[in-house]
Amino acid sequence: MLPRTPLFFLPAVRFASKRFASTQSLRETLQDVIPAKQEQLRKLKLNHGQTTVGEVKIENIVGGMRGLKAMLWEASVLDPIEGIRFHGLTIPDCQKVLPPAPDGKEIIAESMLWLLLTGKVPSPEQTRQLSSELAEKGDLPKFVEDLIDSLPKSLHPMTQLGIGVSALNHDSAFQAAYERGIKKSEYWTYTLEDCINLIARLPTLAARIYHNIYKPTTQMPSIDRNLDLVGNYARLLGYGDNHSLTEYLRLYIALHGDHEGGNASAHTAHLVGSTLSDPYLSYSAALFALAGPLHGLANQEVLRWQLAMQKELGTEITPENIKDYLWKTLRSGQVVPGYGHGVLRNPDPRFIALQEFCDTRPELKESSIIRLVNMTAQVAPGVLMEHGKTKNPYPNVDATSGCVLYHYGLTEFKYYTVIFGVSRALGALTQLVWARALGLPLERPKSLSMDALEKLINQ
Ligand code: CMX
C-alpha cells in the first residue's frame, strides 16, 4: 500500500457546508467577496509590507526558484505532505461537498470553478445555472473554426490549442473596454467575462482539434444545452455514450483545475496577465508552458513508457521485472515519467483520487494497463529512493491519468495534454480575475548575473 496523505477533512467539510452560497449568481457572489479580500490585502501591505517571510539563497536563484515564497495566489495552496487544498478544502472534502452533474457522482468543472473563484461551495442550482451559461456560450466564432481547420494535421494538438485560444482574443471584452478607457476597479468584471467565455469555448475548440486530427471523416456533434461543460466535452469528442469515461473526465478536469501558482503554466498565465494582456493571450502563453515534457506532456510520456514496458515484459509482468525495467530507464539517463514533483513530498492526492476511481470500476480493475500502473506504483518508489536523486519518489497525478483514457479507447496520446489544458484554465483564469480585482502589479523580479552574485557573496 502507498502511504496515505493524512486527511484532516472533517472540520473543513463542516466549515464548507456553512459556506453554501445562496441563490446568487456567480457574479453577485464574487462581487460580495471581493471587498473583504481587497481590505485584507490593503492591511497586509500597510501593516506587514516590510515583514520578512523567508530568505533567498543562491540555490533558489540557480535552482528554478524552488521554494521561494514570491507569489500571491488565492485559489489553492499546495502543502508538500498533504497535497493540494482549494480554499482550504482537500480533494476528499471537495468530493463530499461539490455538486456533481445530474447524471453523475464525480465533481464537475463548474462546481470547482465556483469554489476556486469565490471560496464558496455552490448549490446544485447554482452549478446548473453556470452549466447552462457555459453551454450557451460554447460555440466558436466562424473564423476560429476556419483557422483551426486550416492547420496541418501534423501540427501538435497543443500548438493548435494555443493558436486557437490566442485567436479568440479577437472578441476580448477586456481588451475592448481597456481601449475605450475604463476604471481600474472595473477591470475584473471584463476579465471575468473573458474568462467565462474562454472556459465555455475551450471544450469546443479542443474537440474540433481532436476531430480534425484523429476523426476527420466523422461529424463533430453539437453542444447539448442541458449538459455540463465536461459532459459536453465528452460528447463533442464523440464519447458521449461512454458514461464511465465522461465521469472520469469530469473528475480529472475538476481535480487538475488548479495546483497553486508556481507551476509553469499557472505562473505563465499570471506573468503574462500582469502586463494587462487579456485572458486569451495570457492563457495561450500558459498552454505553451504546459506543452513541455516536464509539465503537462508527462501524461502522454507515462503512457508511452508503460506501454513500452508492457511490450517488453510480455506475459512476465512481475515486481522483479518491473524493477529491472525501472533501473533500465534510469540508467539510460531518463526520468521515470509520472513520478516526482517540484513541491509534493508524498503520493499526490490527485493520483490517489484517480486510483480510487479505478477501484470503483470493475473494467478498470481488470484493465491490463491499469494493473501495470498499480504494480509500478508499488515498486517505483523503492527504486527511486535507492537511485537517490529525486526528492519525491512517489507517483504524481500523471502516473495514472493518461492510462485510464487509453483503457476507455481514447488512445491518441499526443492529445492528452490538451485535456489538461482544458482543465488548468479553471485555476489560471480564476487568478487572472483576482489579480485584476486586487489590482496586482506588473510582475518584475530582479535577475542577477553570476558575476553579480559573486560580488554579493564577497561583500
Ligand atoms: N525519475 C528520475 N529522476 C528524477 C525524477 C524521476 N521521476 N524526478 C526527479 N528526478 C531527478 C531530477 O531530474 C533531478 O536530477 P538532476 O539533479 O540530475 O537534475 C533530481 O532528481 C532532483 O529533482 P527534484 O528536485 O526531486 O525534482 P524537480 O523539482 O527538479 O523536478 C519533476 C520535478 C516533476 C520535473 C521531476 O520529478 C520529473 O522530471 N518527473 C518526471 C516527469 C513528470 O512526471 N512530470 C509531471 C509533473 C506533474 C505536474 O506537472 O503537476
3-state secondary structure of 62: helix
Answer positive or negative: Cα dihedral of 235, 238, 239, 241. positive
CA angle 327, 331, 334 (to 5 degrees): 100
What does CATH list as the number for 297-408? 1.10.230.10
How much of the chain, in percent, has pLDDT values that exceed 90?
Answer: 91
CA of 372 to the centre of ligand 1 (A): 21
CA of 33 to the centre of ligand 1 (A): 38
| Amino acid 404: pLDDT | 95
C-alpha cell at 321: 521485472
| Amino acid 13: pLDDT | 41
Model confidence pLDDT, tens digit, residues 74-125:
999 999 999 999 999 999 999 999 999 999 999 999 999 999 999 999 999 9
Buried b / exposed e along 237-267 (16+ C-beta atoms within 10 A):
bbbbebebbbbbbbbbbbbbbbbbbbbbbbb
For residue 2, name the pLDDT band (cuts at 50, 70, 90): very low
The whole-angstrom separation of Cα 455 and Cα 59 is: 16
CA of 329 to the centre of ligand 1 (A): 14
| C-alpha pair distances (Å), 420 with each of 245, 290, 297, 438 | 15, 8, 9, 27
Q: Which conformational region is residue 340 in: left (phi greater than 0), alpha (psi within -120 to 50 degrees), or beta?
A: left
Instruction: Look up residue 138 and give its amino acid.
Output: G
Q: Which residues have C-beta atoms less than 6 Å from ligand 1? A: 259, 263, 294-295, 298, 330, 335-342, 389-392, 396, 398
Instruction: Return the domain boundaries, the chain.
Output: 133-293+416-438, 297-408
- Straight-line distance from the first to the last Cα atom of the chain, in angstroms, rounded to the nearest whole number: 52
Look at 3-17, 202-216, 261-275, 374-388 and tell me which has the smallest mean pLDDT: 3-17
Instruction: Look up residue 298 and give its amino acid.
Output: A
Residue that is written with C-alpha cell 499570471 in the block = 270
Active site residues: 295, 341, 398
CA angle 93, 118, 418 (to 5 degrees): 75
Model confidence pLDDT, tens digit, residues 5-45:
333 333 334 444 445 556 799 999 999 999 999 999 999 99
Long-range contacts of residues 314-321, Cβ cutoff 8 Å, at least 24 apart: 317/371, 317/372, 317/375, 319/375, 319/378, 319/379
* For range 327-348, the mean pLDDT: 95
Q: What is the DSSP letter of 127?
A: H
Domain 133-293+416-438 CATH superfamily: Citrate Synthase, domain 1 (1.10.580.10)
The whole-angstrom separation of Cα 348 and Cα 397 is: 6
Residues with Cβ < 8 Å from 233, sequence gap 6 or more? 203, 206, 207, 249, 253, 422
Answer yes or no: is pLDDT of 3 > 80: no
Answer yes or no: is pLDDT of 320 > 80: yes
The whole-angstrom separation of Cα 326 and Cα 393 is: 12
Query: Which residues on neighbouring strands pair with residue 121, listed in sequence order?
Result: 20
DSSP per position, 242-304: -HHHHHHHHHHHHHTT---S-SHHHHHHHHHHTTT--HHHHHHHHHHHHTSTTTTTHHHHHHH
Residue of 341, 398, 417, 423 best suited for mutating to test ligand 1, as the one with most atoms within 8 Å of CB: 341
Residue of 390, 397, 416, 424 best suited for mutating to test ligand 1, as the one with most atoms within 8 Å of CB: 390
| Ligand 1 atom 15 nearest Cα | 389
